[in-house]
Amino acid sequence: MEESNRQRKIAGILQQDIVDVLQKSAQDGMRGVIITVTKVNVTVDLGLAKVYLSVFPSEKRDEIVEGIISNTPLIRHELAKRTRNQLRRMPELAFFSDDSLDYIEGIDNALQGKTDNPIKNPDILPKRQKR
């Protein structure tokens, strides 16, 4: 089903504000780490927002996403303060790791010949998990 204009607008507002909140917290303790909010999907009833995060360097991805998940109530509270004039109710936040850059890099390396040829042997490409 296609997203409505309202869903897209709210997703855009949430994406901007989540970036601001995460950048503010990243200045305090995480030097040398880049966190990008790649996409925000809001459900039809505006009750849940799925937030996809890309983290560089990727070795720290799981640790950082787990830390963000554990601080979800604080992030949600800060977002509610920022969007109180735009939203009546703040959606629940669900954070997910976005591994699309790693996936693209793997395909790019394979096509450049740095790894086995995926056309001759398609079993070497990792299967992506759809969420």
- Say if residue 32's pLDDT is above 80: no
What pLDDT is recorded for position 111? 76
Domain spans in the chain, listed from the N-terminal domain onward: 5-98, 100-131
Count of helices and strands (H, E) across the chain:
4, 3
pLDDT in tens, 61-93: 888 889 889 989 999 999 999 888 888 889 999
Pick the CATH number of 5-98 from 2.60.40.10, 3.10.20.90, 3.30.300.20, 3.40.190.170: 3.30.300.20
3-state secondary structure of 10: helix
- What does the alpha-carbon distance between residue 20 and residue 42 come to, in Å, rounded to a whole number? 19
What's the confidence (pLDDT) of residue 131?
Answer: 60
Residue 60 is predicted with a pLDDT of 79
Rounded to the nearest integer, the mean pLDDT of the chain is 84
